[in-house]
Chain A
């Protein structure tokens, strides 16, 4: 079970209080009807599926109830950071995480 830091509660808590909510920073277009089929497909279905740091959303379901954003390394399954919804993507270079020492 992961530990997740809720940026609203400012507490690091067990994963059991949270639910996953898909990739982050995918903004619903203000006027969907103005989009072409291809653009709408991109919004609706196309996700990045990265290996490594992934921008994603979680909800503190059994806590403050807020959706928030996170960067999680999909290889190590570690959170690099979490931040409130609406904030811009943090710079990956500024995020450090435990990694295997190079030999």
Chain B
């Protein structure tokens, strides 16, 4: 056992050694150790280098607030995480860890020259240093900043871990399982109440884990704790450990990040690495305790300088003595106990230095009794040592006078500047804080959430005070939940309450302008930087923060905010409460992207809707494209074909014989009721009253602003029943819009809408042989020009399946859309595919569908329209029922701007050099005009057309309908392409191919 491990102390199991590596060197710790406690047990304080100056640093804390000891952890391929706090990561056999911000090694680091160039990197240096000469920016400054920026090294491999998330609803959520939280749970317990308690540590207990000397209810603290945890669990309280409450959101929703496997030596199957809990609680108790403040003095960052409370935790919880000859410097009573505890296990405390002239007599007496030298009214003005502290310079203070310094040798310096209530989550609720003069800190004041703060979070120090307050708050929330609550009376012996004073920088006899007295350790912000920021005109604490980066590190100012505020307030000559605090935002501690993503990664990244025919497409080599939430077959390449070749073949064979296409994704809405036709008249631009049963019509849907929203073919299945189709991407939007008008504008109409998108599998057959292929399977109607002309619809049977058959065409060829109940779609597809072989049937995807429709000038809403296109702009004025008294969009179309000349109108384009235009390319009339040119439109659709024998395009062009035959120019990065404006129909303008 190492000389720093104290037998009989701590909760780690030294009989179960754990081997891990740090920077390639092997170390032995004990089961229950963190990386930090295990390294300290081996006498290692140097754990990292700071971000800006690359100064050597050790752990200064023992919990999640740690700003310095950031390490990388590795567990085989892909499982590397940077910036993990060594004070939180538990060790397991085989864990590999590395230090950060060093080159070539932690002990000898090149970047440390920044430390020597310290004066250059003062507050706001990046606003000043890199300003001139301008030409240096690209070549010198930016590469330098980029190389230096970033904390740790980002992982380069894909993370193989699974992440999870779950919703949880409870009556009471208690954040923090220390004495206040435990007492609150005990006091609130009631039959039928669902209580959840979370703690970020590996085990519950909070401060009790660091204070085994206390006796609660007549029993040693740890015995009482074990019994209480067991009792609460038995009573149904759910206690979640290694779970951090990272954010407090609206109406008592909290995010909890549970670390499930990071502490395990081997990964269990089917188990996520982390799980995000989204908890909705009726009442919340925040019992998060308080964070100890560092003292601010020159050299307060040397490895071996540590918070006194952390040293106590390392000793009492982990059985680790952080030094054999420590010095304590403090302005608060609590640090005295650290000295006593260390002295009791054989360390020789070299001195207790207290900035206060008067300290509680019992503390001074006990120190004297233990033989510890006491220096009251003293300050620390410097530390010495290179990679580890070796001495501290201590000076007497008398009023404003700092006396001569004296060197005291030491191997650790334990500091305490008092305690700050942990109010981060409270602040997430937009809760108001109130300044407490006595404690010189902010305390919780008011929040609109159903939330109370208990214990040290309210500035109450000591176990007894925390238990008592927790019990009171617990009864308070029980009452709010309509329960009586339980009396909790617990006696506490050997408690260690205390008080102290709040300091700005410690007084010094040296030039404070040269002091490296750190406030924000991780971002290397010193007291001098804060004062410089104020001198340079920063008045708001928010500006001071951004100018200096104080509190902007990954610890979010847990260590630095109050010290920074005290110093800034002093520099501003204003009281701290008037200067105010910066805002805390979630997450409370750094949280992985994986935890936020949860299940939504890889194949489960987003909802992917698949048709019943999707498996056939996948099995037949389809390349897919996402359309809205759907994945659709894009094209079906044969061996050796690229996309262009495949699409060209699909187009050619469809126009030559017959093509089959999965149109199931089209939105479908069943409009039913006596007022169905009235509703259709009001929604769509077209007239519907005279549409006969068994006929269908192309419908155009506008917004009330007059712009095209959607389109689709609509069939009248019965007098009071319409089968409406919408675009694939617009289905949900159109349904919502229709429901909106129906429910809120026309609630008197007797008509109802039912989404039938997924009721039907829709298979489209197009091509000269489409009718020949389909006819043998159809019962109930003859597929002849007379019996079933273009734009007919009928309920019939296809291949023995109940069907709705539409004769429509989106290709200009003879076309049918067969709708059968969705689960039958795959079978029908297979039947038609087999029967189609005699005609050389071709399966085509969305790209070919796009080409075929563009050749006919049919628009795609959302591609050829962009939300500012009217039916008249699109050349579809014929679809607008001019005699209808009203429809959605009628008044909008009459707005002056929509009726004005010179609007962008949909036209065809044929390039002079027969090249294919790029969709989205901008169009100008005169390519010789000076830059910036006046852009007059853009290309909306562009394809290579097999039927036309050259590329074709659709475009929106200013006044385009009156510019037929004119030449426009499309400016590309490498050249300007000339194109002639044409009509939008490129194939069969007489529609002769539609006839059977």
Chain A residues with CB under 8 Å of chain B are 1-3, 14, 19, 21, 27-28, 31-33, 35, 37, 40, 44, 57, 59, 61, 65-67, 76-78, 85-86, 98-101
Task: Establish whether residues A21 and B885, one from each chain, have CB atoms under 8 Å apart when the complex forms.
Answer: no
Contact flags B570-609 to A (C-beta < 8 A → 1, else 0): 0000000000000000000000000000000000000000
Task: Establish whether residues B448 and A44, one from each chain, have CB atoms under 8 Å apart when the complex forms.
Answer: no
Q: Most chain-A CB neighbours within 10 Å: which of B278, B432, B446, B448?
A: B448
Task: Establish whether residues B740 and A67, one from each chain, have CB atoms under 8 Å apart when the complex forms.
Answer: yes
Are A100 and B432 also in contact (CB < 8 A) when A31-B886, A32-B886 are?
Answer: yes
Whose C-beta in chain A lies nearest to the C-beta of B434?
A103
Q: Chain B contacts of A40 at CB under 8 A?
A: 891-892, 895
With an 8 A cutoff between CB atoms, is B46 at the interface? no
Q: Which of A2, A59, A65 contacts B251 (CB 8 A)?
A: A2
Nearest 3 A-B pairs (CB), nearest first? A32-B891, A98-B448, A3-B251
Whose C-beta in chain A lies nearest to the C-beta of B705?
A44
Q: Chain B contacts of A21 at CB under 8 A?
A: 740
Task: Establish whether residues A86 and B739, one from each chain, have CB atoms under 8 Å apart when the complex forms.
Answer: no
Q: Chain A contacts of B280 at CB under 8 A?
A: 3, 14
Chain B residues with CB under 8 Å of chain A are 249-251, 253, 278, 280, 432, 446, 448, 704-705, 736, 739-741, 743-745, 747, 885-886, 890-892, 894-896
Q: State in angstroms the CA–CA spacing of A3 and B278 once bound together.
A: 13
Whose C-beta in chain B lies nearest to the C-beta of A99?
B448
Minimal beta-carbon separation of B112 from chain A (angstroms) = 47
Q: State in angstroms the CA–CA spacing of A77 and B895 once bound together.
A: 36
Task: Establish whether residues B891 and A35, one from each chain, have CB atoms under 8 Å apart when the complex forms.
Answer: yes
Q: Which of B704, B744, B894 contacts A33 (CB 8 A)?
A: B894
Q: Chain B contacts of A66 at CB under 8 A?
A: 743
Q: State in angstroms the CA–CA spacing of A44 and B745 once bound together.
A: 14
Q: State in angstroms the CA–CA spacing of A84 and B53 once bound together.
A: 62
Q: Which of B705, B736, B896 contacts A37 (CB 8 A)?
A: B896
Whose C-beta in chain B lies nearest to the C-beta of A76?
B448
Chain A contact surface mostly: loop
Q: Which of A2, A35, A65, A101 contacts B739 (CB 8 A)?
A: A65
Q: State in angstroms the CA–CA spacing of A98 and B744 once bound together.
A: 31
Having A21-B740, A28-B741, one finds 8 other A-B pairs with CB under 8 Å, namely: A3-B251, A31-B886, A32-B704, A40-B892, A66-B743, A77-B250, A86-B744, A100-B432
Q: State in angstroms the CA–CA spacing of A65 and B743 once bound together.
A: 10
Q: Chain B contacts of A59 at CB under 8 A?
A: 736, 739-740
Q: State in angstroms the CA–CA spacing of A40 and B896 once bound together.
A: 11
Q: Chain A contacts of B886 at CB under 8 A?
A: 31-33
Q: Chain A contacts of B278 at CB under 8 A?
A: 1
Q: Chain B contacts of A1 at CB under 8 A?
A: 249-251, 253, 278
Minimal beta-carbon separation of B890 from chain A (angstroms) = 7
Q: State in angstroms the CA–CA spacing of A67 and B736 once bound together.
A: 10
12 CB contacts below 8 A, A to B, read: A3-B250, A3-B251, A3-B280, A27-B745, A28-B741, A28-B745, A40-B892, A44-B892, A67-B740, A86-B747, A98-B448, A99-B448
Q: State in angstroms the CA–CA spacing of A103 and B249 once bound together.
A: 26
Q: State in angstroms the CA–CA spacing of A35 and B741 once bound together.
A: 19
Task: Establish whether residues B446 and A100, one from each chain, have CB atoms under 8 Å apart when the complex forms.
Answer: yes
Q: Which of A33, A37, A44 contacts B890 (CB 8 A)?
A: A33
Task: Establish whether residues A67 and B890, one from each chain, have CB atoms under 8 Å apart when the complex forms.
Answer: no
Task: Establish whether residues B885 and A33, one from each chain, have CB atoms under 8 Å apart when the complex forms.
Answer: yes
Q: Chain B contacts of A35 at CB under 8 A?
A: 891
Minimal beta-carbon separation of A99 from chain B (angstroms) = 8
Are A67 and B744 also in contact (CB < 8 A) when A33-B894, A37-B896, A100-B446 are?
Answer: yes
Q: State in angstroms the CA–CA spacing of A99 and B432 once bound together.
A: 12
Minimal beta-carbon separation of B228 from chain A (angstroms) = 33
Task: Establish whether residues B891 and A33, one from each chain, have CB atoms under 8 Å apart when the complex forms.
Answer: yes
Q: Chain A contacts of B892 at CB under 8 A?
A: 40, 44
Q: State in angstroms the CA–CA spacing of A37 and B747 once bound together.
A: 27
Q: State in angstroms the CA–CA spacing of A28 and B743 once bound together.
A: 12
Minimal beta-carbon separation of A94 from chain B (angstroms) = 20
Q: Chain A contacts of B747 at CB under 8 A?
A: 85-86
Minimal beta-carbon separation of B533 from chain A (angstroms) = 31
Q: State in angstroms the CA–CA spacing of A85 and B745 once bound together.
A: 10
Q: State in angstroms the CA–CA spacing of A47 and B724 once bound together.
A: 32
Q: Chain A contacts of B736 at CB under 8 A?
A: 19, 59, 61
Q: Chain B contacts of A76 at CB under 8 A?
A: 448
Task: Establish whether residues B895 and A37, one from each chain, have CB atoms under 8 Å apart when the complex forms.
Answer: yes
Minimal beta-carbon separation of A36 from chain B (angstroms) = 11
Are A101 and B743 also in contact (CB < 8 A) when A3-B251, A40-B891, A44-B705 are?
Answer: no
Task: Establish whether residues B448 and A67, one from each chain, have CB atoms under 8 Å apart when the complex forms.
Answer: no
Minimal beta-carbon separation of A102 from chain B (angstroms) = 11
Q: Which of B446, B704, B739, B885 contacts A28 (CB 8 A)?
A: B704
Minimal beta-carbon separation of B116 from chain A (angstroms) = 51
Whose C-beta in chain A lies nearest to the C-beta of B889?
A32
Q: State in angstroms the CA–CA spacing of A40 and B892 once bound together.
A: 8
Minimal beta-carbon separation of B452 from chain A (angstroms) = 14
Whose C-beta in chain B lies nearest to the C-beta of A35?
B891
Task: Establish whether residues A101 and B891, one from each chain, have CB atoms under 8 Å apart when the complex forms.
Answer: no
Q: Chain A contacts of B705 at CB under 8 A?
A: 44
Q: Chain A contacts of B446 at CB under 8 A?
A: 100-101
Q: State in angstroms the CA–CA spacing of A31 and B740 once bound together.
A: 18
Minimal beta-carbon separation of B775 from chain A (angstroms) = 41
Q: Chain A contacts of B896 at CB under 8 A?
A: 37
Q: Chain A contacts of B448 at CB under 8 A?
A: 76, 78, 98-100
Q: Which of B744, B890, B891, B895 contacts A85 (CB 8 A)?
A: B744
Task: Establish whether residues A32 and B890, one from each chain, have CB atoms under 8 Å apart when the complex forms.
Answer: yes
Q: Which of A32, A67, A77 contacts B743 (CB 8 A)?
A: A67
Q: State in angstroms the CA–CA spacing of A2 and B264 once bound together.
A: 36
Q: State in angstroms the CA–CA spacing of A1 and B896 once bound together.
A: 42
Are A2 and B250 also in contact (CB < 8 A) when A31-B886, A33-B891, A101-B446 are?
Answer: yes
Q: Chain A contacts of B743 at CB under 8 A?
A: 66-67, 85
Q: State in angstroms the CA–CA spacing of A100 and B886 once bound together.
A: 49
Minimal beta-carbon separation of A85 from chain B (angstroms) = 5
Minimal beta-carbon separation of B671 from chain A (angstroms) = 15
Q: State in angstroms the CA–CA spacing of A23 and B432 once bound together.
A: 30
Q: State in angstroms the CA–CA spacing of A78 and B251 once bound together.
A: 8
Whose C-beta in chain B lies nearest to the C-beta of A31?
B886
Q: State in angstroms the CA–CA spacing of A32 and B740 once bound together.
A: 17
Q: State in angstroms the CA–CA spacing of A44 and B744 once bound together.
A: 16
Minimal beta-carbon separation of B600 from chain A (angstroms) = 14
